[in-house]
Amino acid sequence: MNIRINKKHKFKSGIASLPILLVIGVMALAIVVSITSIALNELFISQGQAQSSKALFYAEGGARDALVRIARDKNYSCISTDCYSVDFITNGCTSNTDCAKVTVSGGIGTTADPKIITSKGIMRNSIRKMQVNVILDNGAAEIVNQKGLITGTTWSEITN
């Protein structure tokens, strides 16, 4: 028995697999690009959140530094905007990263006129602001009764 092989049929049978392989390859590439894009987006979001958290930490640190200054001198004030800075790394405020810029109002520390600390934490592109209202000597208005003891603070984040 003689079996003849059709050469034309032999070559045609592999032709259909090429477009199928191309379609599968393009689909696989699209999936890989999508996953990579999502992963990069999530990475940028998490870095932004970390920077924002650090900026808030720096703002709180600047406010605490101002509280120490007030505790040492009840009349301490620094009323110009961003009048002093606290660097958390060398030259932090010079490079606009890892620092806090602080302002302390000239209030006397009474309930009607509290000392107001405004601290701006900076971490690269993230800036967070804290405001602390400081009451001295339970808000005593008479200078005779003022000893400079910090008896109350109200902390809030400024969101503008």
* pLDDT tens-digit map of 71-99: 898 889 998 889 999 999 999 888 888 99
Residue 126 lies in a domain: yes
Q: Give the per-residue pLDDT at 144.
A: 62
Query: What torsion do the CA atoms of 20, 24, 29, 32 make, to the nearest 10 degrees?
Result: 180
Count the domains in the chain: 1
Q: Give the per-residue pLDDT at 92.
A: 87
One-letter identity of residue 135: I
Q: Give the per-residue pLDDT at 1.
A: 55
Residue 3 lies in a domain: no
Nearest CA among 119, 117, 128 for reference residue 154: 117
Q: Which residues of the chain have pLDDT under 70?
A: 1-14, 141-145, 160
Residue 48 lies in a domain: yes
Residue 1 lies in a domain: no
Q: Which two tokens stand for residue 90?
A: 């060398």
**Domain that residue 123 falls in:** 8-158
Q: Is 102 left (phi over 0), alpha (psi -120 to 50) or beta?
A: beta
Residue 2 lies in a domain: no
Q: Give the per-residue pLDDT at 40.
A: 94
Cα separations (Å) of 58 from 67, 115, 123? 14, 20, 8
* Sequence-separated (6 or more) residues with CB below 8 Å from residue 94: none
pTM value?
Answer: 0.75
Q: Please tell me whether residue 109 adopts helix, strand or coil conformation.
A: coil
